[in-house]
Structure 1
Amino acid sequence: MDRQNVVTALENALTDVLERPVTGLTGDVKLFDDLHLDSTTMLEMLMALEDSIGLVVDPEDLDADDFVSVDTFTDFVLRTQLEQVSA
């Protein structure tokens, strides 16, 4: 999976979770500040990504720094998927 696929999956998950269209995300969009996510919507987003792209996240691996922006979250998803393939 490449960066654009992750961003597209993120847009789809956020559209479902926030119940409004989320499109055109760029790397510098802040998840909490710009999109007004909170801890509940973040967990819902993770569950939606689990269903759509098979993302499996260990709660021990969650770090607030990974959820700052679209770029940091995309890096987190790609790193998590790489680790899962390597395991």
Structure 2
Amino acid sequence: MEHAEIIDHLQHSLSVILDRPLPEFSADTRILEDLEIDSMRFVELLMSLEDTIGLEVDPESLEPEVFQSAGSFADYIKIRLDLSRVAG
């Protein structure tokens, strides 16, 4: 899955979770600050991504810099998906 596709999945999932359109969403969007995502909604996001794209999250790999922007989170997701594809 390419970076742009992951950004699209993030935008869609977050739009559903927040129950509002996100027309300005981009790789530069700060998930926590710009969208005001709390921890419960972030868990919802992770579960949604697990269901829709098969993301397997390693809690120990979730460093604060992963969540700085949609782009950094998409990078993390791509790495996790690539690792699961190699392992599986």
TM-score in terms of structure 1 length: 0.91
- Counterpart in 2 of 1:6? 6
Q: Provide the aligned length of Structure 1 versus Structure 2.
A: 87
Identity %: 34
Where does structure 1 lack aligned partners over 5 or more consecutive residues? none
Which runs of at least 4 in structure 1 moved beyond 4 Å after TM superposition? none
Q: Please list the CA deviations of residues 15-60 of structure 1 after superposition, one character each: whole Å capped at 9, or x if unmatched.
A: 1111111234221111111111111111110111111111111222
Q: Counterpart of 2:38?
A: 38
CA distance in 2, matches of 1:52, 1:31: 19
| Matched AA of 1:30 | R
Residue in 1 aligned with 2:81?
81
SS of the counterpart of 1:33?
Answer: helix
Higher-helix-fraction structure: 2
- C-alpha deviation, 1:81, in angstroms: 0.7
Using the size of structure 2 for normalisation, the TM-score is 0.90
Q: Which amino acid aligns with 1:46?
A: L
Q: Gapped runs of 5+ residues in structure 2?
A: none
